[in-house]
DNA sequence: TTGAAAGCGCTAACAG
DNA sequence: CTGTTAGCGCTTTCAA
């Protein structure tokens, strides 16, 4: 197999110095070279099938046209669309992403970031942010271009791209109230994540806005975004005799658990209890009943995060900006007017 | 921010030549150096927080401790487990993967592979293989270490890791026959993919094995692994008055379409028609009825593919070997004895 | 506008 | 066992 041509090959074939060939081939520096020469170099490069060696370039420039993407777990259906959004935008400008799964293990996170830095990644996108996340804060404070996606930090100027949870909850609650519901419970997600606390906060706000009683018994804190946690919460609610006609689940998995618990007690959805989820995961439209849920534009979240990061790379001194993407209520069959008044 | 220490820093701090430091730090060559010296070098490296620069190493060695992984689309729930299986195994030996989504576009595939080679990836894993796939065949013939996962080529010695479709279909068919079904239709997937043809072939074999009539009318070729294709196929079957009591769908998406078509015609599953899927995608246990399906161990497929590739990298001359992983039937509620005899 | 020269950080002959 | 030397392929001063 013939050795791949190098810049030197192109240069000698075109009768110029390698430095000139480099300048001619690099769009950034092409203007420094005689137009005619540049064209010749390009022709030779094409005919030889020359492809620059990104490794050599990285070594010299300490840049790599790549970024690191840190996610909890690729098999969680939330993340693939985010990843694709990021990759599609990056790909458009010749960048690539290294994807790391941390399984929410801080040790893996730090190790991964260390190894990414050795690879000279130019920036980092985290989908793993907890409300208090010293590691990320340090990194960002240390000047590493960093963007958060899907989740954000509690107080910080690290730019983030997230869904407008407050708006989403408000829509969901209005929907339930419009249907006639007055006794609504919330299955809140982990309170160390921005999504968990923001949705809970918005739930309380909505109760107030609609003049509904803010009864502590109508709130369940779930320690994980998991079906079992949702089922457990609803079972306890039922056992405690809490009255409710609707459930706002912190996410779709919790809503799924809710379905399970309801079914186990012989309660029908939406006949006895309406349920609203969050995320619009794949296939929740295939449940029975199809789940009414607040859709988060995950692909767009990723795309926007990539844009933000690229912008930071180009203009590091521009002030950080976070973006909130609008959510939409997907109205399916798991919500209906309450049976009892 | 202090410059990261280089090998030279470590060497001078330890009072040795950089080459010695290199040998001491690299496990492969550590035995070439005095034990005492090596220890000192390691200590200095630790205290300085030295991390080798993989880019410089790659440039020198033309190896990169990374491989390329070419998949159709990360948002298809089939692939994330495969990816994780691969990454987990590779990670264990210090390797990483570049993930590329092709969206089944051959042009993107060739472009991606080209760019991966520029990055000196040491091998390639394809999850995009079609039965006839000249590009992959050329690559493998050209000496690029290549492994296929999930799908394989028609005739070729390119090693692959796939599920045992024949065995899976046999199990599913036996299950249906044991329930009493005699009129079984197959929704076959795309016939340019090994999965599509292998399952169809196994279906025919099973008909023969069980002494069932091989009626052409009981077969529908679907042009895509998509819900709409499955729905269309079943609707046509019904319109044509074909008699059947069970459907073996080529995959879960096709089975989903089958559910839709059945529901639209007011037929119940499994009361009127039993349905078996393929893959055991996430959440098919939440459908109503929960889908009986043939489970493919996607994570293990990925892990095995990574092992195979690593082995090829270590011993390129060993003869290529393909592996077939056993499938299991997940018996849920979409199958039952036929109503009519 | 182009060439010369140096060097990014590392490893691999080769000598000693 | 260790040091010397050279160079992977590219970019970037600096000088002409």
Q: Residues 91-120, chain B: which have Cβ within 8 Å of A?
A: 96, 98-99, 101, 114-115, 117-120
Residue A249 Ramachandran class (φ > 0 left, ψ -120 to 50 alpha, else beta): beta
Answer yes or no: are the C-beta atoms of A17 and A10 closer than 8 Å. no
Asked if the model's pLDDT at residue A338 lies above 90, the reply is yes
pLDDT in tens, A217-270: 999 999 999 999 999 999 999 999 999 999 999 999 999 999 999 999 999 999
Token couple for B194:
């090994």
Residues of B with Cβ-Cβ distance to A77 under 8 angstroms: 77, 80, 282
C-alpha B286/C-alpha B151 separation (Å) is 27
Please tell me the distance from the alpha carbon of residue B160 to that of residue B309, in angstroms, as a whole number: 10
Q: What is the mean pLDDT of residues A93-111?
A: 96
Residue B290 exposure: Cα atoms within 13 Å on the Cβ side: 10
| pTM for the model | 0.96
Contact B151, B78 (CB under 8 A): no
Record: contact B75-A81, CB cut-off 8 A? yes
- Give, in order, the Cα–Cα distances in Å from B168 to each of B162, B172, B310, B328: 12, 6, 28, 7
What is the pLDDT, as a whole number, of residue B2? 62
pLDDT number for residue A340: 60
* pLDDT at residue A256, rounded to an integer: 98
- Average pLDDT score over chain B: 95
- E-state strands within A57-210: 66-71, 96-101, 124-126, 146-149, 160-163, 184-188
Q: Give the pLDDT score at B238.
A: 97
Contact call for A286 and B283, based on CB within 8 A: yes
- Which is nearest to A195 in space by CA: A324, A81, A80, A99? A324
C-beta of residue A306 within 8 angstroms of C-beta of residue A278: no
Closest in A56, A120, A288 to B288, CB measured: A288
**How does residue A213 score in pLDDT terms, banded at 50, 70 and 90?**
very high
- pLDDT above 60 (res B1): no
Give residue B318's pLDDT: 86
Percent of chain A with pLDDT over 70: 99
CA distance readout (Å), B316 to A3, A164, B75, B242:
19, 52, 33, 53
Of A161-165, B27-31, B178-182, the range with the lowest mean pLDDT is: B27-31
C-alpha distance from residue B235 to each of B230, B231, B269 (Å): 9, 6, 15
| DSSP track, B77-110 | TTHHHHHHHHHHHHHHTT-EEEEEE-TT-HHHHH
Tokens of A192: 């160390």
pLDDT in tens, B299-318: 999 999 999 999 999 988 88
Q: Is the pLDDT score of A1 beyond 50?
A: no
> Per the CB < 8 Å rule, is B73 touching A84?
yes
Counts for chain A of helices (H) and strands (E), in that order: 12, 12
pLDDT at B320: 83
What Cα–Cα distance (Å) separates residue A94 from each residue in A65, A91, B203? 7, 5, 46
Task: Write out pLDDT tens, residues A31-59.
Answer: 999 999 999 999 999 999 999 999 999 99
**What percent of chain A is modeled with pLDDT above 90?**
94
Q: Give the separation between CA B126 and CA B141, rounded to whole angstroms.
A: 15
Beta-bridge partner residues of A328: A295
Q: What is the pLDDT of residue B341?
A: 43
């Amino acid at each position: 197999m013939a050795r791949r041509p190098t810049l030197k090959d192109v240069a000698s074939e075109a009768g110029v110095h390698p430095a000139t060939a480099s300048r001619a081939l690099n769009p950034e520096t092409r203007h420094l070279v005689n137009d005619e020469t540049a064209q010749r170099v390009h022709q030779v490069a094409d005919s030889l099938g020359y492809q620059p060696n990104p490794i050599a370039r990285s070594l010299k420039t300490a840049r790599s046209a790549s970024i690191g993407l840190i996610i909890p777990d690729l098999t969680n259906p939330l993340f693939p669309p985010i990843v694709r959004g990021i990759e599609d935008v990056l790909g458009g400008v010749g960048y690539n992403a290294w994807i790391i799964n941390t399984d929410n293990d801080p040790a893996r996170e730090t190790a991964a970031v260390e190894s990414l830095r050795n690879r000279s990644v130019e920036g980092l996108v985290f989908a793993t942010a907890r409300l208090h996340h010293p590691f990320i804060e340090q990194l960002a404070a240390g000047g590493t271009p960093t963007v958060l996606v899907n989740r954000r930090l509690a107080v910080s100027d690290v730019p983030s791209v997230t869904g407008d949870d407050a708006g989403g909850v408000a829509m969901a609650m209005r929907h339930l109230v419009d249907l006639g519901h007055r006794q609504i419970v919330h299955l809140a997600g982990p309170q160390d994540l921005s999504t968990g606390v923001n949705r809970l906060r918005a739930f309380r706000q909505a109760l107030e806005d609609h003049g509904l009683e803010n009864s502590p018994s109508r709130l369940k804190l779930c320690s994980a975004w998991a079906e079992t946690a949702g089922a457990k919460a609803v079972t306890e609610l039922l056992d405690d005799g809490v009255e409710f006609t609707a459930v706002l689940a912190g996410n779709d998995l919790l809503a799924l658990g809710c379905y399970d618990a309801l079914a186990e007690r012989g309660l029908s959805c939406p006949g006895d209890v309406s349920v609203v989820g969050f995320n619009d995961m794949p296939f929740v439209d295939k449940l029975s009943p199809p789940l009414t849920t607040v859709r988060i534009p995950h692909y767009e979240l990723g795309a926007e995060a990539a844009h933000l990061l690229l912008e930071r790379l180009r203009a590091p001194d521009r002030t950080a900006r976070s973006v909130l993407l609008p959510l939409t209520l997907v109205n399916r069959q798991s919500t209906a007017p309450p049976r009892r008044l």
